[in-house]
Amino acid sequence: MIPTVRSLPLLLLAPLLLTACGSERSGQGETRDDGAPTAELVARAGALGIAPELVYVTGAPGFTLARQSVGVYGGDGFSATYVSRQEGGQLRLYVDRGTMSAAECAAGQQMCELVEEGVWYRSGRGAHEYAVVKEDHVVRLEGDADVSRDVLHEAAREAHRPSGEEVTELLPPAPADDGAAPTGPVERGDLPPAGDGAPRNDVDAGG
């Protein structure tokens, strides 16, 4: 069964809310698949320890992305939280390697439904989610009980790999690799100018 992570408190997320970007629906199944990751996505995701091919964004009416929530999930997967200011609900996006079978879908849940090939809906333990099985990973959209199934369904349909503009909004810049030479050793003030360089002990009290 794919692990989950604890929801982020709304008060911590609210200051950094950004408007989620919508997208056209295309590709196979419930989600849009935009092909190979861009060089910018590779650099930014790699700096966080996230596999670039596992980075997705989504959109849902009334929900905005909390950038503070974006991070690694599991080994090298991806997670992000979208928050509704009006309703106070949270919609969580998880992407991780693996797949989902009927047994895994039903484990620990009150109900599990195969919506179409490779697309599962399940609910239980105060939350519900859509899980979309891709070739080598699973895209999951999980919502609190007060987030409607229609909203989750819309988020699942809108899930896609980010475009260049979306990457800059989603992930922090990768550290600059300017090739600067390492700085030299710090010069100590208590070393004599000649001799073997041993510290001087002939100073009075107080240095």
Which tens digits make up the pLDDT trace of 78-131? Answer: 999 999 988 778 999 999 999 999 999 999 999 999 999 999 999 998 999 999
- The CATH code of the domain that includes 63 is 3.40.1000
Beta carbons of 62 and 22 less than 8 angstroms apart: no
Question: The pTM is what?
Answer: 0.70
CA distances from 145 to 79, 125, 151, 161, 166 (A): 19, 9, 12, 27, 28
Residue 2 — very low, low, confident or very high, per pLDDT cuts 50/70/90?
very low
On whether residue 31 sits in a domain, the answer given is yes
- Torsion sign, CA atoms 70, 74, 75, 78: negative
CA pair distance 28, 59, nearest whole angstrom: 18
Out of 101-110, 114-123, 141-150, 171-180, least confident range: 171-180
Range of the domain at 58: 10-170
On whether residue 137 sits in a domain, the answer given is yes
Beta carbons of 152 and 141 less than 8 angstroms apart: yes
Number of domains in the chain: 1
On whether residue 3 sits in a domain, the answer given is no
